[in-house]
Amino acid sequence: MHTVVWTFKIPSSMTKADVIKIVADSAHTYQGVPGLIRKYYGVTENAGELVGMYLWESLAKANAFYTPEWRAKVEKRWESPARRQDWETPMVVEAAENRLVAAE
């Protein structure tokens, strides 16, 4: 498995409520994406930064999704350049389900 974290600085003109509305309006676009296991949104307390955390089946599936067009769209949405971090994900703990998921 592979995790990609995208970080954006949120414009000071956006309130936390604005950020949550944008997230709610766009979240459905990630449903059914091939190879995407899970996506989390995170916003700092003061709404200064947003992160999108994506858990993928593989780095190849992640890279196939992150096209230049996708990056341009999200950078326009958040009015900020995106910063990407990649993480190999050898294990996921599904605490609520009381199970471990190991990368193959």
Whether the model pTM is above 0.75: yes
Residue 5 pairs in a beta bridge with 53, 85
Mean pLDDT of the chain: 95
Question: Is pLDDT of 86 > 90?
Answer: yes
pLDDT value at position 53?
A: 97
Domain ranges of the chain: 2-102
Q: Which residue has the tokens 């990407």?
A: 84
Model confidence pLDDT, tens digit, residues 14-59: 999 999 999 999 999 999 999 999 999 999 988 899 999 999 999 9
Q: Which CATH architecture best describes the domain 2-102?
A: 2-Layer Sandwich (3.30)
pLDDT value at position 20?
A: 93
The DSSP-derived string for 2-60 is EEEEEEEEPPTT--HHHHHHHHHHHGGGGTT-TTEEEEEEEE-TTS-EEEEEEEES-HH
pLDDT value at position 103?
A: 84
How many residues can be counted in the chain?
104
Distances (CA, A) of 15 to 28, 45, 47, 77, 103: 22, 11, 7, 14, 38
